[in-house]
Amino acid sequence: MTETLDYIRQRTEDKTPSIGMILGSGLNEFADNCIQDAITIPYSDIPGFPQSTAPGHKGNLIMGSTEGKSVVCMQGRFHKYEGYGMKEVTATIRLMADLGIDTFIVTNASGGINPAFNAGDLMLITDHVNNIGDNPLIGPMEPGTVRFPDMSIAYDLDLREKAEAAATNAGVKLHKGVYLANPGPSFETPAEIRAYASLGIDTVGMSTVPEVIYARSRGIRVLGISLISNKAAGLSGQLLTEEEVFEAANAAKDSISGLMQEILKTI
């Protein structure tokens, strides 16, 4: 990671962002439209950095400012289903942590299990379930990490309160709920969705949890926002496709950008 970090610092003139963001599937619009004085670095140019192969992930690091805050945005992430190990899956948050962020805003697209959720809705993540079967902290301890981070409040209470207030100000409906991460890449079966619903799970996806675990091990505050891209398997009577994700993201791009800008004003 030293070579990677040195390269980014050189390209960004040693700027130190305070807020890091990962923009999930189809959620690139915010970074494209709302970041000023942007420095854009494709992942393919960054030495020692994984490459994003997931559809809808542009694969760019963007550093700049918005709402008076210094930010670094990752347009795209890495997943276990791409064949990556946990070190690569968390490469984005590892790099942002090394750059000096103290606040992490993580977004994703997920399938809605809660019957009140519809495609295009947004959900504030209040807690998660790690069903990936792996953990980014397994192995030798890394400098700056905690071996056994407490995950009782993985998603910062103060940030959640500010996000709810920001949603009100932006006129955006913001649900709250629990997110479950699977390894993917297959979508879940209806039986799995029924099982998750019985456990109190509200949405399901294939990312986010490893990044949040690593961020908390570095003492970084976390805020999570999930875009409901579709109703989960067996709940809509339709087959699931990746195109639904992009359609939902396109339909919700204005509300997502508006919410993010309001949030950034307050943190």
In this predicted structure, the answer to whether residue 72 has a pLDDT above a threshold of 90 is yes
Burial of 140 from C-beta contacts in 10 A (0-12 / 13-18 / 19+)? exposed
pLDDT for the residue 117:
95
Q: How confident is the model at residue 1 (pLDDT cuts 50, 70, 90)?
A: low
- Indicate which CATH number applies to the domain containing 93: 3.40.50.1580
The residues with which 226 forms a beta bridge, in sequence order, are: 108, 123
Plot region of 171 (φ>0 → left; ψ -120 to 50 → alpha; else → beta): left
Angle at 91 between CA 85 and CA 96, to 5 degrees: 160
Query: What is the rounded distance in angstroms from the CA atom of residue 150 to the CA atom of residue 210?
Result: 14
pLDDT for the residue 256:
86
Residue that wins the pLDDT comparison between 242 and 40? 40
| Amino acid residing at 85 | G
Please report the DSSP string for 187-207 in residue order. Answer: PPPHHHHHHHHHTT--EEESS
In this predicted structure, the answer to whether residue 235 has a pLDDT above a threshold of 90 is no
The tens digit of pLDDT for each residue in 28-64 reads 778 888 899 999 999 999 999 999 887 666 899 999 9
Q: How confident is the model at residue 240 (pLDDT cuts 50, 70, 90)?
A: low
Whole-number average pLDDT of the chain = 92
Please report the DSSP string for 24-76 in residue order. Answer: -TT-THHHHHH-EEEEEEEGGGSTT-----STT---EEEEEEETTEEEEEEE-
Domain count of the fold of the chain: 1
Q: How confident is the model at residue 252 (pLDDT cuts 50, 70, 90)?
A: confident
Average pLDDT over residues 245-262: 81
Residue that wins the pLDDT comparison between 88 and 54? 88
Nearest to 24 by CA among 54, 67, 69, 61: 54
pLDDT for the residue 31:
83
Sign of the alpha-carbon dihedral angle for 258, 92, 177, 232: positive
Q: Which of 20-24, 68-72, 92-96, 230-234 has the lowest mean pLDDT?
A: 230-234
Average pLDDT over residues 85-93: 97
Query: What is the rounded distance in angstroms from the CA atom of residue 151 to the CA atom of residue 159?
Result: 16
Residue numbers of the domain that contains 188: 2-266
pLDDT for the residue 58:
83
Average pLDDT over residues 242-260: 78
256, 258, 260, 262: CA torsion to nearest 10: -150
- pTM of whole model > 0.85? yes
In this predicted structure, the answer to whether residue 92 has a pLDDT above a threshold of 70 is yes
Nearest to 109 by CA among 99, 121, 101, 98: 121
The tens digit of pLDDT for each residue in 177-228 reads 999 999 999 999 999 999 999 999 999 999 999 999 999 999 999 999 999 9
In this predicted structure, the answer to whether residue 257 has a pLDDT above a threshold of 90 is no
